[in-house]
Amino acid sequence: MKGRKFTEKERQILADIIIHRRTEFGRNFTSQEIPDTVIETLLSAALHAPSVGFSQPWEFVIIRDSLIKAKVKASFMRENQKAKEIFKNRPFYNQILLEGITTAPVNIAVFYKPSPHPVVGQTSMDKFGPYSVCLAIQNLWLMARAENIGLGWVSILDEEEVKTILNAPRENELIAYLCIGYVTEFTERPLLETLNWEKRKLKETVIYCDNYDHQRELIG
């Protein structure tokens, strides 16, 4: 067999990184700066993600400016106010810190830039463009964990507000707003699981054989 082969030890390391990847929140970030070389490593991981038609439809804005962060945080506060109304019957919502915008030393806004030309593989379903950007984000997230850097994804934002703050091109879509930094400790389990907000789904409940008729065969 030609090509790079991986050892059992390397597989174990990859599995460990995947399992120990976590969402980190504001209170956990330290102010320790992330060296540019490390940011480059994270971005390089992102840029090696697969993409529909090799379109690489991603753009990244690295944010360190505290004024810009403060404006994005204000957008979060407004949007989170609306969310609090939606979850008013779940008192836990008020206790969850769902962002680390101003505490994380680096924020990265990740955009989908639609191609002006038809893209191989994207001619029937447009969504594969944004999906490709999500894969880049996951690569970046896993590499951040391998660098022992915490990351939180903030989605409680007004997209148009964030685009205006960042002077983003009109056609770009905001896919993710990431808060990145060294942490005082890595969270062991998903916070929403710890709070009994959600449970990890059992694999038997989400995996089917051949078609949707055959779930019961798996769970007996």
Ligand X SMILES: Cc1cc2nc3c(=O)[nH]c(=O)nc-3n(C[C@H](O)[C@H](O)[C@H](O)COP(=O)(O)O)c2cc1C
Which residues are at the interface with ligand X (CB under 6 A)?
Answer: 22-23, 98-99, 152-156, 190, 192
99 vs 107, beta carbon nearer ligand X: 99
Compute CA distances 162 → 13, 73, 130, 166, 176, whole Å. 36, 10, 17, 6, 11
Nearest distance from residue 190's CB to ligand X, in Å?
A: 3
Residues 65 and 137 sit within 8 Å (Cβ to Cβ): no
76 vs 122, beta carbon nearer ligand X: 76
- In our burial notation (b when 16+ CB lie closer than 10 A, e otherwise), range 72-88 reads bbebbeebbeeeeeeee
Nearest distance from residue 175's CB to ligand X, in Å?
A: 8
49 vs 192, beta carbon nearer ligand X: 192
Nearest distance from residue 97's CB to ligand X, in Å?
A: 7
Nearest distance from residue 96's CB to ligand X, in Å?
A: 7
Q: Cα(126)–Cα(16) distance, rounded to whole angstroms?
A: 33
Helix, coil or strand: residue 38:
helix
Token readout for 201 is 């789904």
104 vs 168, beta carbon nearer ligand X: 104
